[in-house]
Amino acid sequence: MTQTPFIITLDGPAGVGKTTLARCLAQRLGLAYLDTGAMFRCLALKLGSGAEKLPEAELRLQCARWIFRLNGSGEKTVLTCNDIPVGNEIRTEEVAMLASRIATVPLIRDMLREAQQSMGRCSSLVTEGRDMGTVVFPEARCKFFLDASPEVRALRRQRDLEKRGEKADLATLAALIRQRDHQDRNRAIAPLRPADDAHLVDTSSLEIEEVLAHLLEHVRHCGGPLPR
Ligand code: C5P
């Protein structure tokens, strides 16, 4: 008997720790991990600046050239674009801003939503983004919405960048985060907001391990898989 995939959604604003948490959660639960922000970032990089202004027919052709797939599970999950793993080249603030711009285009959201839903039909997932619980997987059995103050999020971003040997000014990071939040919360389609049935978690004063323990407990409560 085949079981219906168990979908766990994590939504929230930039820099809240979704990527780290989703990856850890997927590893503990032995599920595949889908970073939908990485799909928007990768597509933004492939299409280049100004893509959101292309005529629809042209944009459709351009987008159709890029096929996303998900392989493996836990920390070994790999997201590929045209069979090449999506790498760290997408992890810059410039690419994030480009992603946020193309994320306002209905055609792009539709195409990526279809790809995401088809991944969720094949396997159980921990998936993170902005509209996972509201639009892409409204039937998901376990939904989270993570939040933290913009100051805390900017500080976390700065630490991530420093770990990769990059320097960034805190005030500049906070301004970029506020601008991206504004764009993501106020766009006409699939704006960032918690699903009505999402479990809200403010991570401002919590360490990653504390949030993770809380998420695992809630997954158990929702009837999800038990940690390994
Ligand atoms: O999560 P991440 O910061 O990598 O996302 C980059 C951008 O992609 C976001 O600022 C947002 O505009 C867009 N995005 C989205 N919907 C998603 C995931 C990301 O609109 N599900």
Reported as type and span, the H/E element at residue 35 is strand 32-35
User: 48 burial class (0-12, 13-18, 19+ CB within 10 angstroms)?
Assistant: exposed
Spatial strand order of the sheet with 32-35 comes to 32-35, 125-129, 7-11, 142-147, 199-202
**pTM (2 decimals)?**
0.94
Report pLDDT digits (tens) over 78-91: 999 999 999 999 99
Task: Tell me the pLDDT tens digit for each residue of 36-72.
Answer: 999 999 999 999 999 999 999 999 999 999 999 999 9
Q: Which domain CATH number covers 73?
A: 3.40.50.300
Domain count, the chain: 1
Whether 227 is covered by a domain: the verdict is no
| Ligand 1 proximity of 130 Cβ (cutoff 6 Å) | yes
Taking only the tens place, the pLDDT of each residue in 137-148 is 999 999 999 999
Domain ranges, residue 22: 7-220
**Average pLDDT of every residue of the chain:** 95
In tens, the pLDDT along 162-209 reads 988 888 899 999 999 999 999 999 999 999 999 999 999 999 999 999
For residue 11, the ligand 1 atom closest to its alpha carbon is 21
pLDDT greater than 60 at residue 1: no
Q: Give the nearest ligand 1 atom to 101 CA.
A: 12
* pLDDT score at 112: 98
Which pLDDT score, from 0 to 100, does residue 2 have?
60
Task: For residue 8, give the nearest of 98, 96, 125 by alpha carbon.
Answer: 125
Answer whether 170's CB lies under 8 Å from 154's CB. Answer: yes
Ligand 1 pocket residue status of 129, Cβ below 6 Å? yes
Is 225 a domain residue?
Answer: no
DSSP codes joined into one string, 165-206 = T----HHHHHHHHHHHHHHHHH-SSS-S---TTPEEEE-TT-
For ligand 1, atom 14: residue with the closest CA:
37
- Average pLDDT over every residue of 77-106: 95
Residue 1 forms part of a structural domain: no
Q: Is residue 184 part of a domain?
A: yes
Q: Among 94, 104, 130, 183, which residue has the most ligand 1 atoms within 8 Å of its CB, making it the best to mutate?
A: 130
